[in-house]
Copies of this chain bind each other. A is one copy, B any other.
Amino acid sequence: MPRPIEFDRDEALRRAMGVFWRQGYHATSVKDLTAATHLQPGSLYGTFQNKRALFIAALDAYFSGIRERIQSCLHSDDPPLQRLRAFFDMLIEEMVCDPDNKGCLLVNTLLETPAEDTEINRRVSDMFAKVETEFARVLQEAQSRGDLDPNRDPQALARLLIAGIYGLRVYHKTRPDAPQLHEIIDNLFFALGGPTRH
C-alpha cells in the first residue's frame, strides 16, 4: 500500500559521511548535507532524525568501513609484528593517497567534540579501544612466538601503537610527506623490537 522509498539510505549516509569527514561537524550545514545527499530537508529528517543523529550514524558507518580493512591486515599469514607493520603501511598509503587530506573522521571528531559531549566521545573512544584490544592480541601472539620480549606489557605497547596512529594522523596534517611518515613508524617499531630487532 505505501509508496516505497525512492532513495538509497546507505548511499545517502555515505555521502553525508564524506561531508562530515571533509569539513567536520560544526562546519557542515544541513544545506551542505542536502546538497551532498540529494535529499530534501524533509526526507533527510525523516530518515535520520536530525543533524546530530546523522553524524553519529556517519561515525558508525565510517568505523564499520575501516574495521574490515584492519581485520584483513591483522589476520594475514605473516608473522605478528609484520602484520602490525602492514597495517601502518596501509594507513600511510591511505593518507598520502587522499587528495583532500581529510585525515581520520574519528580522530577529527575526538578533537572537535568538547569533553562535555560524553555520548560522542564515549562512542569514538570505544571504537579505538576495540582496535587497541586487537593490537594487544597480535602483540601477545608475537610474544608467544618469541618475536617480542616477554617482559614487555602487550596492552601498554598496544596503547603506544594507538598513540602512533594519532601521531601519524596529526603529523600528516602538518606535512603530507610519505617518507617521513614511514620513518616515524620505523622509529616507533624500534620501540617494540628494541634490542632483539633483527
What is the interface of chain A, defined by CB distance below 8 A to chain B? 22-24, 26-27, 100-103, 107-108, 110-112, 114-115, 121, 124-125, 128-129, 153, 156-157, 159-160, 162-171, 173-175, 180, 183-184, 186-188, 190-191, 194-195
Contacts and interface: CB of A to CB of B under 8 A. Distances in A.
Contact of A107 (B125, B156, B165, B170): B170
A173 B102 contact: no
Q: Identify whether the interface residues of A are mostly helix, strand, loop, or mixed.
A: helix
Contact of A184 (B110, B159, B165, B171): B159
Contacts of A112: 24, 27, 108, 111-112
A189 to B, nearest CB: 8
B167 A124 contact: no
B166 A171 contact: yes
Given A27-B114, A101-B115, A167-B166, A160 B187 contact: yes
B183 A156 contact: yes
B173 A168 contact: no
A183 B167 CA distance: 16
